[in-house]
């Protein structure tokens, strides 16, 4: 019986990075995915992902973001192409709101550079923006976006060049801890590995159910609107996120012929299982995004060029689950990324690799432990 050092279950956003870092560390690694990543049936598609450092969600993410930025730059070296684009990120909201207060807390604690704009300064500094009343803007210059599918593809290619084995279109049906090795069952075979890394995205609740953390899957929508205004093109306009009375919305400057990509960050349609996900549109969500456009990006056309649907996998507190399974010391996981995890994938992959190869990590991930819910 051949036994791999480690099997990575799910080679999407985070799993592809773990797969690469394990191969780079010299592990005999196999990656298994139910589809062929990069694919559009999970959570890592739709062209672009925001990356920013002054993190409104919690200041404890900032050290992980420093590691993540380094990881993406390293991946660019390995892949020989640009995958991170530093357009700057403009975030707008009320001074005491979740976004602005959170950014200021992270920036103060970690000494991060942010530029402040009043509501009346914003339209001059960023033509095309009509900010909500009583809002301010914070601009983080060294922030931007990642090309999401290119990141996944680059990790998978680089790992295989290092000798890692990838099985696509291979769903793991179950795993079993056999005290010393793990048996991993697919429809056609049982593989054995000394350790497991589980990065199942929206399927995490099926693969790590015994962690006992309730995960909610939300269907989320992305829209690309045709654009004729030079205001919103890359070079003139940054990535943005706005906390408004309508909700929290974000978007990207026009980077190609598809137009300006926009989405609503809060809300979302809960589904029980990832298998129920589809690319079907949600007219209420689209209406909400168009109301946002009318109010706050008034020069943008409402002609829809493209739509895509994707899944957020939410933990009860919207912070990630990362670490080693308390009952299975050889099983490590990253899941419940709650709609903001892609930017961390490079760091999480490295952290998971360290947990496998060294039994520990120096990265400050205690706040992401699953035991916080027990």
Ligand X SMILES: Cc1cc2nc3c(=O)[nH]c(=O)nc-3n(C[C@H](O)[C@H](O)[C@H](O)COP(=O)(O)OP(=O)(O)OC[C@H]3O[C@@H](n4cnc5c(N)ncnc54)[C@H](O)[C@@H]3O)c2cc1C
Q: Return all residues near 249 (Cβ < 8 A) that are at least 6 apart.
A: 241, 242, 262, 263, 264, 265, 289, 292, 296
Count of Cβ atoms closer than 10 Å to residue 273 Cβ: 11
Shortest Å distance, C-beta 57 to ligand X: 10
Does the active-site annotation cover 49? yes
Virtual CA dihedral for 7, 10, 173, 41, nearest 10 degrees? Answer: -160
- The piece of 26-34, 84-92, 108-116, 156-164 that touches ligand X (CB under 6 A) is 26-34
Q: Annotate 240-249 with b (16+ C-beta within 10 A) or e (fewer).
A: bbbbbebebb
Site residues for ligand X, window 235-264 (CB under 6 A)?
263
* Per CB under 6 A, 122 contacts ligand X: no
Of 16 and 24, the one with the shorter C-beta distance to ligand X is 16
Site track for ligand X across 330-369, x = CB under 6 A: -------x-xxxxx--------------------------
C-alpha to C-alpha distance for 288 and 290, rounded to whole angstroms:
5
C-alpha to C-alpha distance for 101 and 125, rounded to whole angstroms:
21
Helix 62-79 to helix 345-358 angle, to the nearest 10 degrees? Answer: 90
Give the three-class secondary structure for 332. strand
* Per CB under 6 A, 112 contacts ligand X: no
Shortest Å distance, C-beta 208 to ligand X: 11
Does the active-site annotation cover 286? no
Of 50 and 164, the one with the shorter C-beta distance to ligand X is 50
Shortest Å distance, C-beta 139 to ligand X: 17
Of 172 and 231, the one with the shorter C-beta distance to ligand X is 172
Bridging pattern class, strands 84-85 and 144-147 = antiparallel
Site residues for ligand X, window 159-178 (CB under 6 A)?
171-172
Q: Pick the catalytic residue: 151, 231, 310, 332?
A: 310
Count of Cβ atoms closer than 10 Å to residue 334 Cβ: 32
Catalytic residues: 45, 48-49, 261, 265, 310, 343
User: Which positions lie near ligand X, rule CB under 6 A?
Assistant: 9-10, 12-15, 32-35, 37, 42-44, 46, 49-50, 171-172, 199-201, 203, 207, 220, 222, 263, 310-312, 337, 339-343
């Amino acid at each position: 019986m051949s036994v791999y050092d480690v099997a990575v279950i799910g080679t999407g956003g985070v799993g592809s990075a773990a797969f690469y870092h394990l191969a780079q560390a010299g592990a005999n690694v196999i990656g298994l995915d139910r589809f062929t990543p990069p694919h559009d049936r999970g959570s890592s598609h739709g062209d672009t992902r925001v990356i920013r450092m002054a993190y409104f969600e919690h200041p404890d993410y900032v050290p992980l973001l420093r590691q993540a930025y380094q990881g993406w730059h390293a991946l660019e070296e390995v892949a020989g192409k640009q995958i991170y684009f530093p357009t700057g990120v403009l975030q707008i909201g009320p001074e005491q709101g979740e976004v602005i207060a959170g950014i200021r807390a992270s920036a103060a604690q970690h000494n991060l550079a942010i530029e402040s704009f009043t509501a009346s300064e914003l339209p001059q500094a960023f033509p095309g923006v009509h900010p909500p009343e009583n809002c301010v803007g914070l601009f983080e210059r060294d922030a931007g976006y990642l090309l999401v599918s290119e990141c996944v593809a680059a990790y998978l290619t680089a790992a295989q060049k290092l000798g890692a084995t990838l099985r696509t279109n291979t769903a793991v049906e179950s795993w079993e801890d056999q005290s010393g090795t793990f048996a991993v069952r697919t429809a056609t075979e049982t593989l054995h590995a000394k350790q497991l890394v589980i990065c199942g995205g929206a399927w995490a609740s099926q693969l790590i159910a015994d962690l006992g953390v309730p995960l909610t899957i939300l269907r989320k929508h992305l829209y690309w609107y045709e654009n004729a205004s030079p205001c919103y093109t890359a070079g003139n306009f940054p990535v943005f996120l706005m906390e408004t009375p309508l909700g929290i919305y974000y978007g990207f400057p026009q980077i190609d012929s598809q137009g300006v990509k926009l989405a609503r960050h809060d809300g979302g349609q809960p589904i029980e299982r990832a298998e129920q996900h589809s690319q079907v549109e949600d007219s209420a969500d689209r209406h909400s995004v168009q109301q946002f456009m009318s109010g706050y990006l008034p020069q943008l056309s409402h002609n829809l060029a493209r739509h895509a649907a994707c899944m957020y996998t939410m933990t009860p507190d919207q912070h990630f689950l990362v670490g080693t399974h308390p009952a299975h010391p050889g099983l490590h996981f990253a899941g419940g990324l709650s709609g903001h995890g892609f930017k961390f994938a490079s760091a999480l992959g490295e952290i998971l690799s360290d947990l496998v190869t060294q039994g520990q990590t120096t990265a400050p991930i205690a706040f992401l432990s699953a035991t916080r819910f027990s």
